[in-house]
């Protein structure tokens, strides 16, 4: 029985998450462990789970010889040195989606509370009054909402506000056009245009140098008079001083704010404004969200230790779970395509060009490129290369990687991935697609048209295209009790060199390979494992 891998849980997560971990791993629960103590024992663990206190820095990573994954039970990663982890092939995962629903719903709640004056009306009633005159609000129906940031939370807000009958426009220069279409949002390429057109503005971006103060005095000058704003993202994205001024001047009619430039924020002058709903950074603070954090990080750590791809890994291209499901067959295809080169040719690689043609071009192909590079390097590096460090290793080896997209392809496949791997004086082309049942197929290798279903054990054979070659070849395999499961032959010109590919049911050792090479008409025999 294989020894179970070990995870240390250094900071508190929900009991439900611990229970999931214990089903598959040896779990060492050390809530509140000190940094120095963790440094002394980290070399024994395959996985580490933290929140915000433990520093996953260069010193810790250098001692963590077995570490494969760091799980951050939460959204931020300020306490994790991601580049250092990537260099060592350590996957970093967090739980950005665990509070997505809670944050999106809180955004809607603050929006409704502020535009309907619910906090002020509540206070009046509790103080003994009864006068609805000051609390006339506005409807969402038929209005335009401008969403800044169409990521996880922004896209959820978009679908929910669309259900109110709102027109949704969005600004996000880092999101594909396909995502705007998927969530029913009109793409706006200029932030100021969004501000001019919006009746309501809500922000959903991370806090960076670029986003700090991006909604400020200049934006309020060009906004519609009576615009209403919400910030449930990060404090400072909407400049507080500019917001106060805009509300005092009547430019901003109401606001809903959950996050502040300085937290905690006692005595903040923003609290004195009328027609504002404020909460103490509690957008993610629901029972469901906190349970989901523990469960999600547990499942992600287990998946990473199994060698599976994890949605929304920090040091991989961002993929949501539904995107990963649809991309998975292409990931398998790309990796298998990559494995071909070094098993057929030992020349050092200088450049890789990958073209995505057909429907696959509409997908997030960054991850597919990484998958190809992982497959390319595995035959010569083994387990040292993984999804996390494949791009970095390729870069350090001086290999230039170029990827392009085409709406169609010359061979008229619905989906076609074509890779050209260049050495100093030659190149090898490998083309692949998916079968009707979403299985990988290699449809071109070294300029030969093929129809290959990659399996564990294969032979790629170049031979003279003439009678009397294939029969003796099959006989030698039969003499060694090697069964041929499938066979295909591709050629460029009749009577010249052909490529014969065989799927066999068992390994072909070097002695058999040497016998096969001696057959008249056989030029080369390569064992290829997928």
Structure tokens at 239: 């400049």
Residue 95, Cβ density class (10 Å: 0-12 exposed, 13-18 middle, ≥19 buried) = buried
Instruction: State the pLDDT at residue 323.
Output: 76
Predicted local confidence at residue 310, as pLDDT = 84
The question of whether 263 is a catalytic residue gets the answer yes
Q: Tokens 């430039």 correspond to what residue?
A: 261
Q: Which CA distances in Å does 228 have to 53, 109, 163, 235, 256?
A: 37, 14, 19, 17, 8
Catalytic residue among 30, 197, 281, 351: 281
**Does the annotation count 281 as an active-site position?**
yes
Q: Catalytic one among 234, 240, 261, 335?
A: 234
List the domains of the chain with CATH numbers: 6-96+289-315 (3.40.50.720), 100-278 (3.40.50.720), 318-454 (3.30.1330.90), 456-530 (3.30.70.260)
The answer to pTM > 0.95 is no
Q: What pLDDT tens digit does each residue of the chain (530 aa) get?
A: 568 999 999 999 999 999 999 999 999 999 999 999 999 999 999 999 998 889 999 999 999 999 999 999 987 787 999 999 998 989 999 987 788 899 999 999 999 999 999 999 999 999 999 999 999 999 999 999 999 999 889 999 999 999 999 999 999 998 888 889 989 999 999 999 999 999 999 999 988 888 999 999 999 999 999 999 999 999 999 999 999 999 999 999 999 999 999 988 999 999 999 899 999 999 988 989 989 999 999 999 999 999 888 877 888 876 767 777 889 999 999 999 999 999 999 899 999 999 999 999 988 899 999 999 999 999 988 767 888 889 988 998 899 999 999 987 777 899 999 999 999 889 999 999 999 999 999 999 999 999 999 999 999 999 999 999 999 999 999 999 999 999 999 998 898 999 999 999 999 999 999 999 999 999 999 999 99
Please give the Cα distance from 487 to 508 (Å, whole number): 15
Report the half-sphere exposure of 340 (CA within 13 A, side-chain side).
28
pLDDT digits 0-9 by tens, 243-293: 999 999 999 999 999 999 998 899 999 999 989 999 999 998 898 998 999
**Residue 307 — left, alpha, or beta (φ > 0 → left; ψ -120 to 50 → alpha)?**
left
Which is it for strands 144-148 and 200-203: parallel, antiparallel or unpaired?
A: parallel
Contact 184, 160 (CB under 8 A): no
Q: What are phi and psi of 375, to 5 degrees?
A: -65, -40
Token duo for residue 12? 């508190």
Query: Residue 509 contacts by C-beta under 8 Å, 6 or more apart in sequence?
Result: none
Please pick, among 19, 210, 263, 321, the residue that the annotation labels catalytic: 263
With tokens 């066999």, the residue in question is 504
pLDDT the model gives residue 325: 84
Q: What are the residues whose beta carbons fall under 8 Å from the beta carbon of 513, sequence distance 6 or more?
A: 525, 527
Question: Cβ of 54: how many Cβ atoms within 10 Å?
Answer: 23
What is the per-residue pLDDT for 383?
A: 66
Residues comprising the chain, all counted: 530
d(C-alpha 291, C-alpha 363), whole Å: 32
Instruction: Report residue 315: phi and psi, to 5°.
Output: -100, 35
């Amino acid at each position: 029985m294989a020894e179970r891998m070990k995870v240390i849980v250094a900071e508190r997560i929900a009991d439900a998450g611990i229970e999931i971990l214990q089903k598959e791993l040896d779990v060492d629960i050390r809530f509140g462990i000190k940094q120095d103590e963790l440094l002394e024992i980290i070399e024994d663990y395959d996985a580490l789970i933290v929140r915000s206190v433990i520093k996953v820095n260069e010193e810790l990573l250098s001692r963590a010889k077995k570490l494969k994954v760091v799980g951050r039970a939460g959204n931020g990663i300020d306490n994790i040195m991601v580049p250092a982890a990537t260099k060592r092939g350590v996957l970093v995962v967090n739980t950005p989606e665990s509070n997505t629903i809670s944050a999106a719903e809180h955004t809607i709640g603050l929006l409704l509370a502020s535009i309907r004056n619910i906090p002020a009306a509540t206070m009046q009633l509790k103080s003994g009054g009864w006068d609805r005159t000051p609390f006339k609000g506005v409807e969402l129906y038929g209005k335009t909402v401008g969403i800044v940031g169409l990521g996880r939370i922004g896209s959820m807000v978009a679908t929910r506000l669309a259900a109110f009958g709102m027109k949704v426009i969005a600004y996000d220069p880092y999101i594909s056009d396909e995502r705007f279409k998927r969530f029913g949002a009109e793409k706006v390429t200029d932030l100021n245009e969004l501000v001019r057109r919006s009746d309501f503005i809500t922000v959903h971006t991370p806090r960076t140098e670029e986003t700090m103060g991006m909604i400020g005095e200049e934006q309020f000058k060009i906004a519609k008079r009576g615009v209403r704003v919400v910030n449930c993202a990060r404090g400072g994205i909407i400049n507080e001083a500019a917001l106060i001024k805009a509300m005092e001047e009547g430019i901003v009619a109401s606001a809903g704010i959950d996050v502040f430039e300085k937290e905690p924020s006692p005595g903040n002058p923003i609290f004195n404004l009328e027609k504002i709903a404020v909460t103490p950074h509690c957008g993610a603070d629901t029972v469901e969200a906190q349970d989901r954090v523990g469960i999600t990080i547990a499942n992600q750590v287990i998946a990473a230790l199994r060698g599976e791809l994890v949605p929304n890994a920090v040091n991989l291209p961002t993929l949501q779970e539904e995107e990963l499901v649809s991309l998975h067959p292409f990931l398998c295809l790309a990796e298998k395509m990559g494995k071909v080169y070094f098993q057929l040719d030992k020349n050092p690689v200088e450049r890789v060009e990958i073209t995505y043609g057909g429907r696959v071009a509409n997908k997030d192909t960054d991850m597919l490129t990484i998958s190809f590079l992982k497959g390319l390097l595995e035959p010569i590096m083994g387990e040292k290369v993984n999804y996390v460090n494949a791009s970095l290793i390729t870069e350090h080896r001086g290999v230039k990687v170029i990827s392009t997209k085409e709406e169609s392809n010359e061979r008229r496949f619905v989906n076609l991935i074509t890779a050209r791997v260049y050495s100093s004086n030659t190149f090898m082309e490998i083309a692949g697609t998916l079968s009707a049942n979403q299985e990988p197929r290699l449809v071109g290798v070294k300029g030969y048209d093929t129809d290959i279903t990659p399996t564990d054990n294969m032979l790629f054979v170049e031979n003279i295209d003439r009678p009397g070659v294939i029969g003796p070849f099959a006989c030698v395999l039969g003499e060694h009790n090697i069964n041929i499961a499938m066979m295909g032959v591709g050629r460029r010109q009749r009577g010249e060199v052909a490529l014969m590919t065989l799927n066999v049911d068992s390994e072909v050792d070097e002695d058999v390979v040497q016998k096969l090479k001696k057959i008249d008409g056989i030029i080369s025999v390569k064992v290829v494992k997928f």
